[in-house]
Structure 1
Amino acid sequence: MSLLRSARFPAIVLLGAAILALIIANSPLGPAAAGVKETYLGIPGVFEMSVGHWVQDGLLAVFFFIVAVELQYELTNGELNSARKALQPAIAAAGGVVVPVVVYLIFAVGSDAVDGWPIPTATDIAFALGVLAVFGRGLPSGIRIFLLALAILDDIVGIVFIAVLFTDDVNIGLLAFAALAVVLFGVLSRRLDTRARVPIAIVLVLLAIATWVLVYESGVHATIAGVALGLAMAQRPALRTRHELEPWVNGIVLPLFAFSAALVVIPSVSPSQLSPAFWGVLVALPVGKIVGISIAGWISLRLGSRGAAPHLSFADLLAAGALGGIGFTVSLLLSELAFAGAPVIRDEATLGVLGGSMISIVLAAILVAARARHYRRTQPAAADEHPAHPTEGQIA
């Protein structure tokens, strides 16, 4: 289990799952795999979804739950618990959202791919931290903290896009019941340290399932249920739950989603015939993120007061921008949602996410390794620092 809690191994598993899916989709096994993805499971006539939707809407809600728990921790006790601390990564994150959108629209405006503009706005925390762990030995903790804050803020933007842009015909009544279930979940979670821990835990699981079903049926994307539950849960039990779920999410949930999302056939067409969605995402992730994060981050250094955030050079910001271009998980989800009714464009946008993320991984590896060498040579003491991170040991 400790291997699946590490920063490096889950990123390797995630990438391997995506590559395997591409190989299978473009082999004689492709039609059979696609058939499995479209197979419906559930209670006939009551509640059924395809295997692909169970992964995207069901399992991925667990991933968003642990993201929300980490967000709650950072907003209350971590690196985003004050406006002063959050200023620099917030400005950098804003640049890392706006510039990729502009780059994407340069390719897609006026075409049927224009709805995909949210796709290159996301940063994959697990992947970015995995690359940082592999190539960043010697980086000061301030850079790691900056990247974590940046990625979390990017996730907030992605969550808002999912909640606002991909919600149709909302059933207010069901959403109100879901909100009530979340409130009850939050209240009961604060009683988990009593003698009635086991029955309360069972009720919490039932409330979580009920919340997910109600949110799904209300017309809001079901992953928002995971976000709401993660933010509502009392922090100590939430961090313990996150710790227990993390290896399962890293080892099963995210690889299954990566496999399902990357199960696309590479079109046999010339580059000029590829959708603007492909080119927009392919360029917007590496280029848009690097330009947006580095320039906005540089501006934030001039606006913020000294001591408000760790000192970062422009070269550090370039490395952070390259890491930010690793979209993967949330970008794949946004691709699925943006082009749900256009499978051909969706598949090409997915290929753009994979290609853009791979380019960003290579660029990030080069830039992060260069900065790590610089700090090992010039600041050996700072290079030994490690970032604080909520773990089981810290909350027990």
Structure 2
Amino acid sequence: MSLLRSARLPAVILLTAAIAALIIANTPLGEAVVGVKETYVGIPGVFEMSVGHWVQDGLLAIFFFTVAVELQFELTNGELNSARRALQPAIAAAGGVLVPIVIFLIFAGGSDSAAGWPIPTATDIAFALGVLAVFGKGLPSGIRIFLLALAILDDIVGIVFIAVLFTTDVNIGLLALAALAVIVFGVLSRRLDTRARVPLTILLVLLAIAAWVLVYLSGVHATLAGVALGLAMAQRPALRTRHALEPWVNGIVLPLFAFSAALVVIPQVSPTELSPAFWGIVVGLPVGKIIGITLFGWISLRIGNRGAAPHLSLLDLLAAGSLGGIGFTVSLLLSELAFAGDPLVRDEATLGVLAGSGIALIVAGLLVSQRARHFRRLATSESDREQAPRPPSPTGGQLN
């Protein structure tokens, strides 16, 4: 279990799941596996969804719950608990959202694919931290803190996009009942340290399921139930719950979603025949994120008090921007939502996410390795200077 809480292994499992799905989808087994994904499961006539939707709307809500718990902690006690500390990563995150949108619209604006503009705005925090763990030995904590804050802010943007853009025909009554369930859940979670811990835990699980069902039936995307529950839960039990769920999210939930989303057949067409969505994403993720985060991050260093946040060089910002281009999980979800009514464009957008994230991953590995080597050399030089014998004083002793 401890390995599944590390930064490296979950990223490897996630990437392996996506590659495996892409390979299987393009073999004779592909049709059968896709058939399983499209099989409806549930209570007949009462509540049924396809296996793919159970993964996308059900299991992924657990992932968003853990994200929301981390957001709650960072906004109250962590790196984003004041406007001063959040300023630099917030400005850089804005660039990492706006520039990829502009690049996407340059390719897809005016076409039927324009609805996919939110797709290249996401950053996969698990992948980004995985690359840091593999290639970033020796990086100063300031860069890691900046990237973590950047990725968290990106998660907030992705959640807002899902809530605002992909909600249709909302049933206000059901949504109000869901909100009531979330409020009761939050209130009861503050009593978990009492003797009635076991029955309260059971009740909280039932309330969470009820909130998820009501949000789904209301027309709002069901993963937002996980966000609401994670933000509402009392912080101490929420962090304990996140810790308990983390291995399952990293080892099962996210790989299953990556496998499900990447089950696409590679179109047998020339590159010029691919949809504008593909090109907008495959360029928008790696190029847009690097340009946006680096440019806006450079501007942020010149706004306000430099001492308010760790100082970063231009090369540090380039490394952070390349990590931001690994969209993966949330970008795959946004692809599914943006092109739900057009399976062909959806599949090409998914391929764009995989290709764009892959390019960003390679670039990030190279840039992060370079910066890590640079800081390791600095640390070695500093250590050598401290250990070097001091020259004798004019009186024959050592200088103090």
Pairwise TM-score range, normalised by the shorter structure: over 0.9
> What residue in structure 2 maps to residue 196 of structure 1?
196
- Deviation at residue 304 of structure 1 after TM alignment: 2.7
Q: How many residues align?
A: 383
Contact 1:319 1:364 in 2 (8 A): yes
Larger radius of gyration: 2
- Aligned partner of 2:290: which letter? I
Aligned equivalents of 1:382, 1:72: Cα separation in 2: 38
Aligned equivalents of 2:163, 2:93: Cα separation in 1: 19
Secondary structure, aligned partner of 1:379:
helix
- Deviation at residue 306 of structure 1 after TM alignment: 2.1
Q: Which runs of 5+ in 2 are unaligned?
A: 384-400
- Aligned partner of 1:211: which letter? A
- Aligned partner of 2:304: which letter? G
> What residue in structure 1 maps to residue 390 of structure 2?
none
Aligned equivalents of 1:304, 1:366: Cα separation in 2: 32
Q: 1:61 to 1:380 in 2, by over 3 A?
A: farther
Contact 1:13 1:255 in 2 (8 A): yes
1:67 aligns with 2:67: yes
Aligned equivalents of 2:376, 2:84: Cα separation in 1: 29
Aligned equivalents of 2:110, 2:104: Cα separation in 1: 12
Contact 1:140 1:382 in 2 (8 A): no
Aligned equivalents of 1:84, 1:280: Cα separation in 2: 34
> What residue in structure 2 maps to residue 92 of structure 1?
92
Aligned equivalents of 1:166, 1:34: Cα separation in 2: 24
Aligned equivalents of 2:309, 2:170: Cα separation in 1: 41
Contact 1:97 1:289 in 2 (8 A): yes
> What residue in structure 1 maps to residue 231 of structure 2?
231
Aligned equivalents of 2:306, 2:295: Cα separation in 1: 18
Q: Which runs of 5+ in 1 are unaligned?
A: 384-396
Secondary structure, aligned partner of 2:321:
helix
1:27 aligns with 2:17: no
Secondary structure, aligned partner of 2:48:
strand
- How does the TM-score come out when normalised to structure 1? 0.96
Aligned equivalents of 1:230, 1:165: Cα separation in 2: 21
Secondary structure, aligned partner of 2:224:
helix
- Deviation at residue 319 of structure 1 after TM alignment: 0.2
Aligned equivalents of 1:184, 1:332: Cα separation in 2: 32
Contact 1:90 1:150 in 2 (8 A): yes
- Aligned partner of 2:231: which letter? L
Q: Structure 1 residue runs of 4+, over 6 Å off?
A: none
> What residue in structure 2 maps to residue 118 of structure 1?
118
> What residue in structure 2 maps to residue 346 of structure 1?
346
Aligned positions of 1:1-396 closer than 5 A: 1-379=1-379
Aligned equivalents of 2:128, 2:209: Cα separation in 1: 30
What per-residue deviation string (whole Å, max 9, x for no partner) do you get for residues 114-146 of structure 1?
A: 000000000000000000000000000110010
Aligned equivalents of 2:97, 2:83: Cα separation in 1: 19
Aligned equivalents of 1:186, 1:232: Cα separation in 2: 5
Secondary structure, aligned partner of 1:104:
helix
Secondary structure, aligned partner of 2:364:
helix
- Percent identity reads 82
Aligned equivalents of 2:106, 2:361: Cα separation in 1: 23
What per-residue deviation string (whole Å, max 9, x for no partner) do you get for residues 177-232 of structure 1?
A: 00000000000000000000000000000000000000000000000000000000
> What residue in structure 2 maps to residue 390 of structure 1?
none
Aligned equivalents of 1:46, 1:208: Cα separation in 2: 19
